[in-house]
Amino acid sequence: MNENIEELLQRAPEIIVTYGVKILLAFAVYLIGKWIAKGIAGLLEKGMKSRNVDATIISFTKNIVYYAMFTMVIIAALGQLGVQTASFVAIIGAAGLAIGFALQGSLANFAAGVLLILFRPFKLGDFVEAGGASGVVKEVSIFSTILTTGDNKTVTISNASVMGGNITNYSTQPERRVDFTVGVSYGADLDLVRKELTAIAKGDDRIIVDKGITIGLAELADSSVNFAFRIWTKTENYWPLYFDTNEKIKKRFDAAGIEIPFPQMDVHVAKEA
């Protein structure tokens, strides 16, 4: 017993030096690694702020990056102390895989939310069609996008559904084309139809004449001759112009004697002898 104590005392300086160096190295790895993790997370935060990314996204992403790097720092520091870290890495990997499978829907929505904020296919106040719904964008959060429909219903769509399909933004362009299909009877004077449509197009200040006016015979249908009537206007005037022009077409055609056909059925009654 005394011999063991004496041997231990004799090796004490060597043990202290060996393990002291390991402890110092581990402590240095911890401090430097933590400083680097904070620095990278800070740079990421600045970069996202410069791109006007949502504050919630910035905070969430910054924390994920920091704690992921901090975990690697802890493992590296333990390795300097001689601790076998392979088992720790395996456990962390398995836990991360399990969490990923459990939250794959939420993670997909989060990733889609980040993409929506980064690439900005629409902004608040835009009228869009996405995820099987259409309405004005009221909010883009981490996991969902909120729209308000024309009849004032609130629709919440998962971001994965928004990014997984086509996004039609009706508010992006300053000008839009208004398309009409105008049907007249086969007995109508086609030149007169063109004249009346031209007068309608040139008689409304909301119509951008410089963009061109299209009046063309589009189809010889079963019961009507269909004209394609296309005009341009500012985006904010689209629906008022659409409704007003439909009314003007009906009134001017009635005044000019141009018949607008409607579905009819002829019934023939056969009498038995």
d(CA 77, CA 65): 19
Tens of pLDDT, residues 24-47: 888 888 888 889 988 988 888 888
Domain boundaries, the chain: 2-102, 121-169, 175-256
Work out whether strand 144-148 and strand 214-220 pair parallel, antiparallel, or are unpaired.
unpaired
Mean pLDDT of 269-273: 73
Two tokens at 208?
């951008």
> pLDDT tens digits, residue range 205-254?
999 999 999 999 999 998 899 999 999 999 999 999 999 999 999 999 99
| Tens of pLDDT, residues 49-58 | 887 776 656 7
CATH node for 2-102: 1.10.287.1260
Cβ neighbors of 89 (< 8 A, separation 6 or more) are 75
175-256 CATH choice from 3.30.565.10, 3.90.1300.10, 3.30.70.100, 3.30.1310.10: 3.30.70.100
Q: Which residues pair with 154 in a beta bridge?
A: 148
> Cα-flanking dihedrals φ and ψ of residue 24, to 5°?
-65, -45
Given a contact cutoff of 8 angstroms between Cβ atoms, the answer to whether 234 and 197 are in contact is no
Mean pLDDT of the chain, nearest integer: 84
For residue 157, pLDDT over 90 is answered with yes
Tokens read off for 124: 């608040």
User: For residue range 125-144, what is the model confidence (pLDDT) as tens digits?
Assistant: 999 999 989 999 998 877 88
The structure's pTM equals 0.63
CATH 2.30.30.60 correct for 121-169: yes
